[in-house]
Amino acid sequence: MTALVAQVAAPSRILNLARPGELSLAIAPDLVLCGGAMLLLLYAAWRPESVAHQRRVGVGAMAVALATLVAVVLVSFLGWSSSGGPVAVDGFRWASDVIFLLAAIVAIGLAMDYNAREGITAPESHVLILFATVGMMIMAAARDLMVLFLGIETMSVAVYVLVGMNRRSARSAEGALKYFLLGAFSTAFLLYGIALVYGATGSTNLSVIGGRISALSLLESPMLLVGVALLFVGFGFKVAAAPFHMWAPDVYEGAPTPITAWMAAAVKAAAFAAFLRLLIEAFGHLYMAWHDALWWLAAITMFVGNLVALQQRNLKRMLAYSSIGHTGFLLVAATSATPQAAGAFLFYLLAYTLATMGAFAVIMALGSGEQPRENVEDFHGLWNERPGLAVAMTVFMLAMLGFPIFGGMGFFAKWYVLQAALDAVAPQTRLAVMLVLATTISAGYYLHVVMVMFMKPRPEMAPPLPAPGQMARAVIVATVVLLLAFGVFPDPAVRWARSGTQLVPAMPAAAAIPAPAGQ
């Protein structure tokens, strides 16, 4: 312990990633997760399928994810950094990894209850979540376009299988097919974009690309212009930004509820983490060129997601469109190009992850194989029969709305994004006004769910609601406590989010970035 404390107190060490030993140190948490997942896969295949066996594999998967989380925290305390290389060693990477691993632990816990209730004996779903999380961690760390592509494919292949994991559900099979086809389509955009950017700059390393782009203009390099545009389209699909969002509602509705919760939170967070690093480290000098495109993408996404969510009566579809609206809010932070924006981005992702996974946990807890209970009408009078779940769902809805006090850290998440937009290099005043308007629109469907739980009577002939499973109950309690605690005492979460701003120094100095006209 004394040696560990001495290491933590030691000055920051700059790793030379050209040396295999130091590269291994840089990716140590990823190796822990990948190695643990492979060993767990062998164990899962060794024993015959049963509900008890899938639960044991689930417990093992949670232990592997927790061990990786501890490794991430320890490595982040060491204060290591790297000069160039294919992977980043910085605070943004470690802060992003914390979100991915927390989401994985929650998703595995929910999947254990879901599989037991639905009679699904295959234990591979827990291992696939771990492998997908490996891909997410690679995406957040990638400082090379080929490493980024490797991470995206590692994550995507696992998620394609997880969406169709419930083989008895036609909706699950339909969602998996749609996600696979559109995912492959978006991957083609990304791959062509990578090829064109490499052709224009002669490198796949983000730092080298950023240095060479500083001497180029998009108008002078059509190849670079098309490459950047294709990368924007590819990531637009991955984060479900309008108008590239059409896959999300059907996939979220058809996937098993624990996987939907995990996709809405972790998969979106991973795509955003990779996108933000790409914008800042590779295309920071092109801020004037991509700012307007991202500005319009954020504005359209906020309004499309929230306006269409108003019309939904299926809660999973409603939350799918809600997540599209939240994509727009996160894009507001991405347009700001400041250290405060990176911190606001991470804080918002944490609040959104907790609220989203908690809300889906409530939906899962109330359903069963014969009666999923995914419609708003199924929540009528929930306060009378399951008051604890009604209160928890209220906290989650208010957190996603950004309501003060009772919405916990959701209010501060919206506030920090709004503040980042107004304090940007080019103050995003119009976008900030649009954010407030879109949030006001979202109150219509969030508060409607709260209203029916407390004010609508439960049908007399309605069957009794099932009791939540142990893991679902633990997830709901933990997410409510964290949301409210960080709402009252936000300082620990704020300090954690600020640790992620280490990514930002690769951005050109604020004074060197002229303000876009009219913003």
Given a cut of 80, is residue 460 above it in pLDDT?
A: no
pLDDT at 32 over 90: yes
For residue 126, give the nearest of 43, 14, 68, 212 by alpha carbon. 43
Q: What is the DSSP string of 423-477?
A: TSSS--HHHHHHHHHHHHHHHHHHHHHHHHHHHSPPPTTPPPPPPPPHHHHHHHH
Q: What percent of the chain has pLDDT over 70?
A: 92
For 87, phi then psi, to 5°, come to -125, 150
What are the pLDDT digits (tens) for 122-159?
A: 888 999 999 999 999 999 999 999 999 999 999 999 99
Residue 10 has pLDDT above 70, yes or no: no
% of the chain beyond a pLDDT of 90: 53
Q: Is residue 446 part of a domain?
A: yes
- Alpha carbon distance 435, 438 (integer Å): 5
174 to each of 170, 246, 255, 257, 398, how far by Cα in Å?
6, 14, 9, 15, 32
Please determine, for residue 58, whether its predicted confidence score (pLDDT) is greater than 70: yes
CA distances 310 to 44, 356, 437, 440, 448, Å, are 43, 17, 14, 12, 9
Q: C-alpha angle 33/36/37, rounded to 5°?
A: 85
- Does residue 269 surpass a pLDDT of 80? yes
Q: What are phi and psi of 425, to 5 degrees?
A: -50, -45
Residues 6+ away with beta carbon under 8 Å from 223: 196, 199, 200
User: What are all long-range contacts of 19-23, with beta carbons under 8 Å and residues at least 24 apart?
Assistant: 23/85, 23/87
Give the pLDDT band (50/70/90) at residue 214.
Answer: confident
Lowest-confidence region among 184-188, 233-237, 409-413, 512-516: 512-516
pLDDT band at 95 (very low <50, low <70, confident <90, very high): very high
Q: In the prediction, which pLDDT does 148 show?
A: 96
Inform me whether the pLDDT recorded for 19 exceeds 50.
yes
Residue 519 lies in a domain: no
Instruction: Name the residue with tokens 């479900």.
Output: 240
Model confidence at 507, pLDDT cuts 50, 70, 90, reads very low
518 falls within a domain: no
Is 496 inside a domain boundary? yes
User: What does the pLDDT look like over 399-457, one tens digit per residue?
Assistant: 999 998 888 899 999 999 999 888 877 788 899 999 999 999 999 999 999 999 999 88
Tokens representing 90 are 């910085």
- Average of per-residue pLDDT across 493-511: 66
- The residue-averaged pLDDT of 289-316 equals 92
In a domain, residue 352? The reply is yes
pLDDT band at 517 (very low <50, low <70, confident <90, very high): very low
Q: Does residue 79 fall inside a structural domain? A: yes
What is residue 12's predicted lDDT score, i.e. its pLDDT? 65
**Residue 405, helix vs strand vs coil:** coil
pLDDT for 368: 66
Answer yes or no: is 11 within a domain.
yes
Is it the case that residue 96 has pLDDT exceeding 90?
yes
Whether residue 1 has pLDDT greater than 70 = no
User: Which range has the worst mean pLDDT, 12-21, 33-42, 164-173, 349-358?
Assistant: 12-21
Q: What is the CA radius of gyration of the chain?
A: 22
Residue with tokens 């879901």, as numbered in its chain? 114
pTM over 0.85: yes
Residue 47's identity, in one-letter code, is R
506 — pLDDT class (breaks 50, 70, 90) = very low
pLDDT of 509 reads: 42
- Tell whether the model's pLDDT for residue 215 goes beyond 70: no
The pLDDT of residue 360 is above 50 = yes
Place of tokens 């979100």: 99
Instruction: Residue 285: give the domain boundaries.
Output: 2-512
Rounded to an integer, the average pLDDT of 174-193 is 91
Structure-derived torsion over alpha carbons of residues 287, 291, 292, 293, reported in degrees to the nearest 10: 110
**Residue 3 pLDDT grade (very low, low, confident, very high; cuts 50, 70, 90):** very low
Contacts of 510 (CB under 8 A, 6+ apart): 338, 425
Secondary structure of residue 5 in the 3-state scheme = helix
At residue 387, does pLDDT exceed 50? yes
Given pLDDT bands bounded at 50, 70 and 90, which one contains residue 218? low
pLDDT for 164:
87
Q: What is the pLDDT of residue 518?
A: 45
Mean of the per-residue pLDDT values for the chain?
87
H/E run at residue 81: strand 81-82
Looking at residue 491, its pLDDT comes to 92
What is the count of structural domains for the chain?
A: 1
